[in-house]
Amino acid sequence: MRKRKSIEERKEEVFMIISQIIAEKGLSEVSTVEVAKRLGVSQPAIYKYFKNKDEMIVYFLEHLKDQLEEVLKKASRGKTTREKLKLIYKEHFKLIEKTRILPRVIFSDVVYLGNPDKKKALKEAILGYKKGITEIIKEGIEKGEVVDIDPEIGARFFIGTIIASTLTWMLNDMKFKLSGEVDRLMENLDKMLFK
């Protein structure tokens, strides 16, 4: 007899299925029909977990926030600001290579149009992530490890390097390992950010 999956296990599967759809076709192609088909369940079965497509996407964005918080948590294990930022690069690129969705979600008009809950969920995820990076840079300035810059601008710059690297990766059909870019990014970050 097959054991029934818990709600959390099923929702984790939904997150990964939505990630696959976004990676293949974009966020606008996510639907309860497509998710159900890929899970091998009926569309009404999806409604046990989500009222509609918008609620499913909001869940996805909230889960994405959890993933980014986990990246920050792993980065906190670093002893220096440099180690923490390097861990963010590594963990963030691993997440992108695993799901292939972050850039498509961030730049998708589906998130910004219509349902304000989707925009709010994405905003909370991204701004919370930026705040965590800002705090790391601020702490680095206070410890004398980082040049005296506006920490919030430093965080924007840092996130910009992630976005630009990911865009380059996507435009090159994901033919190189994003995680292979970490040392190169850190070499240049050393020249600009660290004392």
Backbone angles phi, psi at 27, to 5 degrees: -65, -30
pLDDT tens track for 47-91:
888 898 888 888 888 988 999 999 999 999 999 999 999 999 999
C-alpha to C-alpha distance for 134 and 138, rounded to whole angstroms: 6
Residues contacting 115, CB < 8 A, separation 6+: 54, 57, 58
Predicted local distance difference test score (pLDDT) of residue 57 = 86
Q: How many CA atoms lie within 13 A of 40 on its CB side?
A: 1
C-alpha to C-alpha distance for 37 and 43, rounded to whole angstroms: 8
pLDDT tens track for 79-131:
999 999 999 999 999 988 888 776 677 666 666 666 788 888 888 999 999 99
C-alpha to C-alpha distance for 111 and 135, rounded to whole angstroms: 27
